[in-house]
């Protein structure tokens, strides 16, 4: 028989139905009356399906002692209304098959809650816990909502390359790509095994992408609004709770958009994703509120209920200076806002997400549109309580002469960006876009503290194994 998933069984299957299902055992309890009660989970939802196994079931005596926490089962039987208050139905098992044992002496039992740190070291167990199961489902929901949002607005999904020669952010955080297979390497004077990091992508220097933006612009200014959604790599050697070496970024890019349009798109997008999770992952969102951070649901509602406040960088700095607080990192016009400043603005002062715009040009990369004041660029960052920056975006510089001088000013070689400059030579148009870090969005939604815990396989200076 086809396997049923547990979520729909618990939600809507009629008592009396005969079903086959499978999953992993959370607990087993044997009653004196010759029954065993097993809580079975298959990851489709937080709740377990209660199995009632009569000692008369064929093979019971041989099998039941191996039905321990962590073992896997396939079972068939009849759904019956459950007398317990916790579930609508339970499964009265008619046949059961033990698929895989889990040594009860060695298995890291789940009686006490494990720390997230500990779980990061046990690859197989981590996604079988309630918290990580819920994160996986919410993450899935967010990914679907991302496509829904942009597809509904006729943005094309464009795939930008992971291997590239441009350092878009100019922050020197790129991982270099190397190949030891260059057949000419020895002719070029390298010893076997010696790596020339500056020329090792078949004789050129290439890196893993830090952003698909520049390539995204090329398509946006031809086919209309686009979005990219893929992995991004940054050699962040800082071990913070907000930075990964590999993370996922969503980057829309739209021609004819100016900064105000970009800000509105960002706000609509975040609200759309939150609504999708509240609707499709209600049970998981409630779990995060109950077990991880009891402000999750009120924060989500607060975000949905208000327009994000637009605050210029200059106003933000003035507010910080007037705050009367003593900052660890002194505030003055021209500084990069630090976590303490972002938190005060969003958590203490505005008490909601804000969009800070028009940053000093010295703080931002070369591609942002220069304002007439000669001092600021049309950048915008979306800052949210607890997490800080989740979006960085801008209107792009589309005037050839200004862009060329900005490249030079940034110490970059304009010749290497000929393909990017061509976009300004032939039919240039105003355009804008932003990047949202998927994992930062998940931190906001779940109340989790550490970015390592909201990605299936975190890549950090300390871990690349699993």
CB of 314 vs ligand ATP, minimal distance in Å: 19
CB of 391 vs ligand ATP, minimal distance in Å: 5
Q: Which is nearer to ligand ATP, 243 or 424 (CB)?
A: 243
CB of 318 vs ligand ATP, minimal distance in Å: 21
- Contact partner, 42, from ligand ATP, Mg ion, none, Cβ < 5-8 Å per class: none
435 touching ligand ATP, by CB under 6 A = yes
Q: Which is nearer to ligand ATP, 70 or 435 (CB)?
A: 435
Of 368, 347, 353, give the one whose Cα is nearest residue 310.
353
How big is the site for ligand ATP, counted in residues (CB under 6 A)? 18
Fill in the per-residue mask, 380 to 399: x = in contact with ligand ATP (CB under 6 A), - = not in contact.
Answer: ---------xxxx-------
Q: Which is nearer to Mg ion, 216 or 392 (CB)?
A: 392
- Contact partner, 169, from ligand ATP, Mg ion, none, Cβ < 5-8 Å per class: ligand ATP
267 touching ligand ATP, by CB under 6 A = no
Task: Look up residue 385 and give its DSSP letter.
Answer: T
Q: Which is nearer to Mg ion, 6 or 368 (CB)?
A: 368
Q: Ramachandran region of residue 249, left (φ > 0), alpha (ψ -120 to 50) or beta?
A: beta
- Contact partner, 437, from Mg ion, ligand ATP, none, Cβ < 5-8 Å per class: ligand ATP
Q: Which parts of 136-195 interact with ligand ATP (CB under 6 A)? A: 169
Q: Distance between terminal CA atoms of the chain?
A: 35
CB of 62 vs ligand ATP, minimal distance in Å: 50
Kindly state the tokens that stand for 146.
């991302």
CB of 138 vs ligand ATP, minimal distance in Å: 17
CB hemisphere CA count around 397 (13 angstroms)? 24
What CA–CA distance (Å, rounded) separates 175 from 244?
A: 13
Q: Which is nearer to ligand ATP, 202 or 329 (CB)?
A: 329
Kindly state the tokens that stand for 185.
């390497």
- Contact partner, 439, from ligand ATP, Mg ion, none, Cβ < 5-8 Å per class: ligand ATP
For residues 344 and 323, the answer to whether their CB atoms sit within 8 Å is yes
Of 127, 102, 116, 113, give the one whose Cα is nearest residue 42.
127
- Contact partner, 435, from Mg ion, ligand ATP, none, Cβ < 5-8 Å per class: ligand ATP
Q: Which is nearer to ligand ATP, 196 or 389 (CB)?
A: 389
Q: Which is nearer to ligand ATP, 109 or 136 (CB)?
A: 136
Kindly state the tokens that stand for 31.
């009653």
For residues 52 and 90, the answer to whether their CB atoms sit within 8 Å is yes
What CA–CA distance (Å, rounded) separates 360 from 334?
A: 6
How large is the angle between the packed helices 418-425 and 400-409, nearest 10 degrees? Answer: 160
For residues 25 and 38, the answer to whether their CB atoms sit within 8 Å is yes
Of 107, 97, 19, give the one whose Cα is nearest residue 64.
97
CB of 361 vs ligand ATP, minimal distance in Å: 15
Q: Which is nearer to ligand ATP, 58 or 461 (CB)?
A: 461
Radius of gyration of the chain (CA): 27
423 touching ligand ATP, by CB under 6 A = no
Q: Which is nearer to ligand ATP, 16 or 461 (CB)?
A: 461
- Contact partner, 391, from Mg ion, ligand ATP, none, Cβ < 5-8 Å per class: ligand ATP
CB of 202 vs ligand ATP, minimal distance in Å: 28
Q: Which parts of 364-423 interact with Mg ion (CB under 5 A)? A: 389, 392
CB hemisphere CA count around 375 (13 angstroms)? 5
For residues 324 and 291, the answer to whether their CB atoms sit within 8 Å is no
Q: Assign 231 to helix, strand or coil.
A: strand
458 burial level (CB within 10 Å; 0-12, 13-18, 19+): buried
Q: Look up tokens 């975000």; give the residue.
A: 303
> What does the binding site for ligand ATP look like in residue numbers (CB under 6 A)?
169, 234, 236, 242-244, 247, 249, 389-392, 435-437, 439-440, 451
> What does the binding site for Mg ion look like in residue numbers (CB under 5 A)?
389, 392
């Amino acid at each position: 028989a086809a396997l049923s998933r547990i979520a729909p069984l618990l939600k809507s299957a009629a008592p009396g139905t005969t079903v086959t299902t499978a999953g992993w055992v959370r607990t087993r309890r044997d009653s004196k009356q010759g029954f065993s009660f097993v809580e079975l989970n298959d990851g489709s939802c937080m709740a377990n399906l209660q199995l009632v196994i009569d000692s008369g079931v064929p093979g019971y005596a041989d099998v039941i002692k191996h039905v321990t926490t962590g073992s896997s089962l396939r079972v068939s039987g009849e759904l019956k209304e459950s007398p317990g208050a916790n579930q609508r139905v339970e499964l009265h098992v008619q046949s059961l098959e033990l698929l895989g044992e889990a040594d009860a002496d060695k298995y890291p039992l789940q009686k006490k809650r494990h720390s997230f740190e500990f779980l990061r070291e046990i690859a197989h167990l981590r996604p079988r816990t309630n918290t990580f199961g819920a994160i996986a489902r919410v993450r899935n929901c967010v990914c679907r909502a991302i496509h829904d949002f942009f597809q509904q607005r006729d943005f094309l999904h464009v795939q930008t390359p992971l291997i590239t020669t441009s350092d878009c952010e100019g922050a020197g955080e790129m991982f270099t790509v190397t190949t030891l297979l260059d057949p000419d390497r020895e002719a070029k004077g390298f010893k076997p095994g010696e790596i020339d990091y500056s020329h090792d992508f078949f004789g050129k220097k290439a890196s893993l992408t830090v952003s698909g933006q520049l390539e995204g612009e090329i398509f946006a200014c031809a086919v209309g609004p686009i979005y990219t959604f893929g992995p991004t790599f940054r050699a962040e050697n800082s071990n913070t709770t907000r930075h990964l070496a590999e993370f996922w970024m969503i980057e829309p890019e739209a021609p004819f958009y100016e900064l105000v349009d970009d800000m509105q798109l960002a706000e609509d997008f975040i609200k759309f994703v939150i609504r999708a999770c509240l609707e499709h992952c209600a049970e998981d969102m409630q779990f995060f509120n109950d077990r991880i951070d009891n402000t999750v649901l009120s924060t989500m509602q607060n975000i949905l209920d208000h327009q994000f406040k637009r605050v210029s960088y200059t106003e933000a700095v003035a507010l910080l200076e007037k705050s009367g607080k003593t900052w660890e990192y002194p505030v003055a016009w021209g500084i990069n806002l630090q976590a303490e400043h972002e938190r005060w603005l969003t958590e203490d002062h505005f008490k909601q997400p804000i969009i800070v715009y028009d940053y000093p040009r010295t703080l931002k990369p070369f591609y942002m549109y220069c304002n007439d004041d000669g001092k600021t660029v049309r950048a915008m960052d979306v800052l949210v309580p607890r997490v800080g920056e989740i979006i960085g975006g801008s209107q792009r510089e589309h005037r050839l002469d200004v862009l060329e001088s900005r490249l030079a000013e940034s110490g970059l070689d304009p010749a290497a960006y000929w393909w990017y400059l061509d976009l300004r030579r032939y039919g240039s148009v105003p355009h804008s876009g932003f990047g949202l870090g998927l994992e930062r969005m998940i931190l906001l939604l779940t109340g989790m503290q550490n970015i390592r815990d909201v990605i299936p396989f975190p890549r950090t200076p300390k871990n690349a194994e699993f």
